[in-house]
């Protein structure tokens, strides 16, 4: 407990936004598993000119100060796309970071709640960075390893702060870790599904067509919007968001990291593996200048990273719980794991996966992946 007066400031001036963005770099610098994200990328997240995810967003940023020192931050926001999708008059909070002082955390969450109430919101959900399609969820288990690319960092004490502020669990999301050289031979059900796919002339698995990158991204995101449409918190990607995501993720892609599954020539599934940028940028303090860019290129292109992540995977709903659907997913997993090994990866995170997504959990387990992190989304009535 601070025992000092905590000032919660509404901010919107450019210099205050810079302080808002800079806080985690100061706050977590001594934390062994903190991976400082690239500063220019974090700044672009807040730019309406560069981030189309902000188009439906109305937001308010807050800084907490004690004795004129910045000790915490939070964002409260209303995402009209979410409200239109669910009709729940919900608002959100995110970018929640503060010193190890429960009073500061509770005060920040209270400020976010009050602002959302002033916007006629009936529920507060979070933490999330603008939506569940960005970094989201509070880490509540698995603090002994760093987060991989596009997954959030957190401290153990944040859970108590959020729950003290009155929020309750909405849903848990799991991250699984696969050793790409372990777990062979696969369990018999997996072997059977892979063999079924190999024997079935209707099924074809192919790599991304690099010469048609834009069309391929549009294709897999169309599958994503169908496959994930019934998941908790789902929001479809807009055309502008798909274009933006494609431009951001393309530099991270490697040959044969994206695979598409077809049934009778119709694309119905995909799997997408990317290198863990967080491993490559470790120790750069989020800066590419003056020499960070050279170290980044060396790690990505010459030394190579050992950790990968599968952030996106999907199967069209009409093929859920069918033999052909299960077979094509099994073959996609084994195919991209092989491609990952050839790229030099030793491990791959599959994330995130909803706690009630039994089919995907079973796929992870049959791939000998182990659950090693849990992220939690919270909510409270307003």
Asked whether 359 and 189 are in contact (CB, 8 A), the reply is no
Whether residue 1 has pLDDT greater than 70: no
**Residues in Cβ contact with 269 at an 8 Å cutoff, skipping those fewer than 6 apart:** 223, 227, 260, 261, 313, 314, 315, 316, 319, 325, 328, 329, 332
What does the alpha-carbon distance between residue 139 and residue 151 come to, in Å, rounded to a whole number? 9
Spell out the domains of the chain, with CATH numbers in brackets.
Answer: 7-172 (3.40.630.30), 178-374 (3.40.630.30)
In the structure, what pLDDT confidence band is assigned to residue 238 with cuts at 50, 70 and 90?
Answer: confident
**Residues in Cβ contact with 318 at an 8 Å cutoff, skipping those fewer than 6 apart:** 268
What is the average pLDDT across 208-235?
90
How many Cβ atoms are within 10 Å of 229's Cβ, its own excluded?
12
Give residue 38's pLDDT. Answer: 86
Whether residue 330 has pLDDT greater than 50: yes
- 3-state DSSP assignment of residue 349: strand
What is the average pLDDT across 25-51?
92
Whole-number percent of the chain with pLDDT over 70? 95
Give residue 24's pLDDT. Answer: 97
Q: Give the predicted TM-score (pTM) of the model.
A: 0.93
CA distance from start to end of the chain: 26
Give residue 300's pLDDT. Answer: 65
Give the chain's mean pLDDT: 91
The region of weakest confidence among 87-101, 207-221, 263-277 is 207-221
In the structure, what pLDDT confidence band is assigned to residue 219 with cuts at 50, 70 and 90?
Answer: very high
Under DSSP, the state recorded for 355 is T
Whether residue 280 has pLDDT greater than 80: yes
- Report which of 79, 202, 55 is spatially closest to residue 136, judged by C-alpha positions: 79
| Beta bridge mates, 178 | 348
Annotate 240-254 with three-state secondary structure.
Answer: HHHHHHHHHHHHHCC
Longest dimension (CA), the chain: 70
pLDDT in tens, 14-36: 999 999 999 999 999 999 999 99
What is the average pLDDT across 77-105?
97
What is the average pLDDT across 301-324?
88
pLDDT in tens, 101-155: 999 999 999 999 999 999 999 999 999 999 988 899 999 999 999 999 999 999 9
Under DSSP, the state recorded for 319 is G
Please give the angle made by the CA atoms of 80, 82 and 85, to the nearest 5 degrees: 105
In the structure, what pLDDT confidence band is assigned to residue 359 with cuts at 50, 70 and 90?
Answer: confident
Whether residue 303 has pLDDT greater than 90: no
- Report which of 357, 318, 340, 336 is spatially closest to residue 194, judged by C-alpha positions: 336
pLDDT in tens, 289-301: 555 555 565 556 6
Give residue 255's pLDDT. Answer: 78
Give residue 294's pLDDT. Answer: 55
In the structure, what pLDDT confidence band is assigned to residue 242 with cuts at 50, 70 and 90?
Answer: confident
């Amino acid at each position: 407990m601070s025992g000092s007066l905590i000032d919660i400031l509404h901010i919107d001036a450019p210099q205050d936004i810079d302080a808002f963005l800079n806080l985690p770099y100061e706050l977590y610098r001594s934390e062994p598993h903190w991976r400082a994200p690239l500063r220019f990328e974090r700044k672009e997240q807040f730019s309406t000119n560069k981030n189309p995810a902000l188009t439906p967003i109305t937001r308010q940023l807050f800084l907490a100060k004690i004795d004129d020192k910045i000790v915490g931050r939070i964002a409260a926001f209303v995402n009209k796309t979410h409200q239109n999708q669910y009709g729940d008059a919900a608002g959100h909070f995110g970018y929640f970071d503060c010193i190890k002082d429960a009073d500061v955390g509770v005060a920040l969450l209270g400020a976010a709640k009050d602002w959302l109430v002033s916007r006629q919101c009936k529920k507060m959900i979070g933490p999330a960075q603008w939506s569940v399609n960005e970094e989201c969820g509070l880490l509540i288990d698995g603090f002994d390893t760093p987060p991989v690319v596009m997954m959030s960092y957190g401290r153990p004490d944040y859970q108590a702060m959020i729950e003290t502020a009155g929020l309750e669990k909405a849903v848990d999301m799991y991250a699984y870790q696969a050793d790409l050289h372990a777990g062979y031979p696969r369990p018999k059900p997996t072997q059977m599904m892979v063999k079924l796919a190999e024997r079935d002339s209707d099924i074809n698995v192919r790599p991304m067509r690099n010469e048609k990158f834009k069309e391929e991204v549009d294709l897999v995101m169309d599958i994503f919007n169908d496959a994930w449409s019934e998941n908790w918190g789902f929001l479809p990607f807009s055309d502008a968001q798909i274009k933006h995501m494609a431009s951001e993720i393309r530099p991270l892609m490697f040959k044969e990291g994206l695979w598409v599954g077809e049934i009778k020539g119709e694309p119905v599934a995909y799997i997408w593996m990317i290198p863990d940028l967080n491993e490559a940028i470790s120790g750069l303090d989020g800066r590419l200048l003056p020499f960070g860019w050279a170290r980044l290129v060396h790690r990505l292109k010459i030394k190579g990273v050992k950790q990968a992540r599968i952030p996106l995977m999907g199967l069209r709903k009409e093929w859920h719980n069918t033999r052909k659907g299960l077979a094509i997913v099994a073959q996609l997993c084994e195919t991209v794991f092989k491609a990952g090994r050839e790229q030099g990866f030793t491990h791959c995170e599959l994330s995130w996966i909803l706690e009630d997504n039994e089919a995907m959990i079973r796929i992870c387990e049959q791939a000998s992946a182990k659950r090693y992190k849990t992220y939690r989304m919270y909510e409270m009535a307003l």
